[in-house]
Amino acid sequence: MTTTAKKGSTVTKKSKTTDDVLKILCKSTKKVLELTTKTEINFSPIIQKTSKTCLKPDIGCFVLFDGGFSGLVIINFSADSAVEIYKKYMMSMGLPENELASLHTSDEVADSLGELMNQIIGDFRVELERTLRVSVNQNQPKMIVINKELMVSIAAAIDRPLFSRISFKTSSGYPFYMETAIENTKFTQLFSFVQEDEETIDPDQIMADFKANGSKKAPEPDTSAVDDDFMKNLGL
C-alpha cells in the first residue's frame, strides 16, 4: 500500500500484487471443488516460490490465460486425490459409486477433472473482474496422465513470470498441488468503487444440467485429443 501527500492531506492508494491474484485463484479452487464435491478442501497458507512449473505424476491439468495479464495454471493430482474428487463430484450429482471408474487413468476421471478446472478458472475470472476490474481469457483445459518417471515442463510465453506452488488436500487427506506462472504485475487502486455482487456456482444447477443431458459423463473439455501444434508451441 502506498500513500501520497497533497496539500496537507494523505491520499491512500491500495495496491494488489501477483500474490493477491494467487490468493484469489486459491479461493476459487477451494470454492468450486467444495461446491461440486460437497466435501471440504483445504490449502496451505504458505506459498512456495519455485523456478519453473511442471506437470507431474499421476495426472496433470493445465490452462493458459491472457488479457489484462498472462499466466499458466497447473494442478497436479495424485492418483488417490484424482479419484476421490472425481467420485465425489459424480456422486453429488446422484450417480451411484458402484457405476463409477476406480482408476485415475480412466477417461471419465480426466473428463471430470478437466471440467472442474474449467469451472475453477471461470470463477477466478469472475473474481478478477469483480475485485480488480481486470479481464482475462482462457484456453480449454488440457489433461495428461503422467508416468511416475516423467516430468513435463511447459515453456509458456509469459512476461516476467513469478513461479509458485501451493499444496491442497482433499477431505480424506490426499494431496494435490497447484503450480502457477503468473506475470509479475501490480494493481494500484486510483479511486474507490463498488464491487459487484459475488457470483457463485450453483451445484444444484450443475446437477440439473447434468441430468438434463441424460449422460453419465461430465461435459468433456478438450482432454484426449490435444492439438499437436498447440503442444509444440508450449515446448512439449
The larger pLDDT score, comparing residue 168 to residue 158, is at 168
Average per-residue pLDDT for the chain = 83
What is the structure's pLDDT at 9?
A: 42
What is the structure's pLDDT at 3?
A: 46
Closest to 171 measured CA to CA, from 75, 6, 46, 42: 42
In the predicted structure, residue 4 carries a pLDDT above the cut 90:
no
In percent, the amount of the chain with pLDDT more than 90 equals 60
Class of domain 17-233: alpha beta
Gyration radius of the chain's alpha carbons: 19
What is the structure's pLDDT at 14?
A: 79
pLDDT band at 219 (very low <50, low <70, confident <90, very high): very low
Which residues does 229 contact at the CB level (< 8 Å), separation at least 6?
Answer: none
The pLDDT tens digits of the residues spanning 57-115 come to 999 999 999 999 999 999 999 999 999 999 999 999 999 999 999 999 999 999 999 99
pTM: 0.78
pLDDT band at 190 (very low <50, low <70, confident <90, very high): confident
d(CA 147, CA 60) in angstroms, rounded, equals 11
What is the structure's pLDDT at 157?
A: 79
Q: Is 23 exposed, middle or buried (0-12, 13-18, 19+ CB in 10 A)?
A: middle
Give the mean pLDDT of 208-226. Answer: 52
pLDDT band at 203 (very low <50, low <70, confident <90, very high): low
In the predicted structure, residue 16 carries a pLDDT above the cut 50:
yes
Which residues does 199 contact at the CB level (< 8 Å), separation at least 6?
Answer: 123, 126, 130
pLDDT band at 24 (very low <50, low <70, confident <90, very high): very high
What is the structure's pLDDT at 107?
A: 94
In the predicted structure, residue 209 carries a pLDDT above the cut 80:
no
Grid coordinates given for 114: 478437466
